[in-house]
Amino acid sequence: MATSIGINYGQIADNLPPPEKVVPLVKSMGATRVKLYDADPHVLKAFANSGVEFIVSLGNEYLSDMKDPAKAQAWVKTNVQAYLPATKITCIAVGNEVLTFNNTALSDNLLPAMENVYAALVSMNLDKQVSVTTAHSVAILETSYPPSSGAFRRDLVSCITQVVDFHCKTGSPFLINAYPYFAYKADPKQVQLDFVLFQPNQGIVDPVTNLHYDNMLFAQIDAVHSALASIGYKNVCVQISETGWPSKGDADELGATPDNARKYNCNLIKLVSQKKGTPLKPNSNLNIYVFALFNENLKPGPMSERNYGLFKPDGTPSYPLGFAGVSTNSSSGRSPATGSGSTTPTSWSPQDGSSSPGYMSITSNSGRGLFCWKSWIMQLHIIVGSILLLFSQL
């Protein structure tokens, strides 16, 4: 199971083990990359000299502060430079799913914040080893089927174009949070479970490219590639910053079971280990971060929100994963980490234990992206029905 898989390490919980005990757990699953939703100093210190690469994050609530170059400089100095080179921080995610909050003020702050954080890295000669990006919900897509017709929401095209231009100039990746689970949850009668779980199935063929897709995640990724190409960017590096499947849910959350979570995540890790790209980009690395390392018992929302973890707080797998895990001997008693983890004692700076509201509910903006898939399923039914009718008349 040793792969180049990445893992999201969220900490909205009061029963998680201390970071020192998380290091061997991450290594036990072969993960070489970790994404934080903050810049927690306890975690960054614990992983010093571990060789694990980190994406640290700056919460949505601090984007307006980052419009001030001096504050961006102070944040980078305190939360990134201070841990290099011992801790391999390779990327800063500025905000999470900002554009799908439909908050104009927040969206307007995104690019200036990214630019100032990058300028701070340049001033410290760190821009060659640390990149700057932001994570988007797949709901930024207005059309996702067929993948070749992928297109961004028209009201977001201008902002996305500016962000992608920043990526091209600085060499940073375009991050997408994609959850096929939500498509199944929204319409389990129409969305084939095997198709979203990477299980054997007939799949679908893009009628424009004739490319065959046997799982929804790859189709979503290629829809993003197509959307980028439609605005003039064909060679942007796309990474999946979040994807996963809950092992438990409320009564109306069909599909949220340990067996489905096991199939999704184990099949996903197997695909990543094969180093295969998507049908449209077969030679591109997948660069996927699984959500999440632990179940987080303080996350709000439906039960599924608290049950995405590959592991329980004691270090045992939430379901059979193919590796045993590592005992963490219960919790550290630390307060739940809820944000950017800065220790800079200023009125604007994120304090140790603050969090990005963009991370609190991963389902908040996912509904919009499902309509494309429902439409696609309906189209397939119409096509199949027409074919059957034609044959019956022969």
For CA atoms 105, 136, 92, 78, the dihedral sign is positive
Cα 45 from Cα 327, distance rounded (Å):
20
Q: How many CB atoms lie within 10 A of CB 237?
A: 17
Question: Mapping DSSP to helix (H, G, I), strand (E, B) and coil, where does residue 109 land?
Answer: helix
* Active-site annotation holds for 97: yes
- Cis-peptide, bond into residue 18, ω within 30° of zero: no
Please spell the DSSP secondary structure of 295-331, one letter per residue: --TT--SSGGGG---SB-TTS-BSS--SS------S-
The one catalytic residue in 97, 115, 142, 305 is 97
Cα–Cα distance between 341 and 19 in angstroms, integer? 14
What are the beta bridge partners of residue 53? 33, 88
CA distances from 111 to 8, 265, 283, 343 (A): 24, 33, 30, 25
Residue 20 is among the residues annotated as catalytic for this protein = no
| CA nearest neighbour of 195 among 218, 216, 223 | 216
Which residue of the set 115, 242, 253, 296 is catalytic? 242
Residue 153, CA distances (Å) to 125, 183, 243, 372 in order: 36, 18, 21, 12
Q: What is the Cα–Cα distance from 359 to 326, expressed in whole angstroms?
A: 26
User: Is the alpha carbon torsion for 321, 294, 273, 289 positive or negative?
Assistant: positive
Burial of 105 (0-12, 13-18, 19+ CB in 10 A): exposed
* Cα dihedral 264/265/267/273 (nearest 10): 150
Structure tokens at 324: 């045993």
Residues 6+ apart with CB under 8 A from 337: 11, 12, 38, 40, 352, 353, 355
Residues annotated catalytic, as ranges? 97, 242
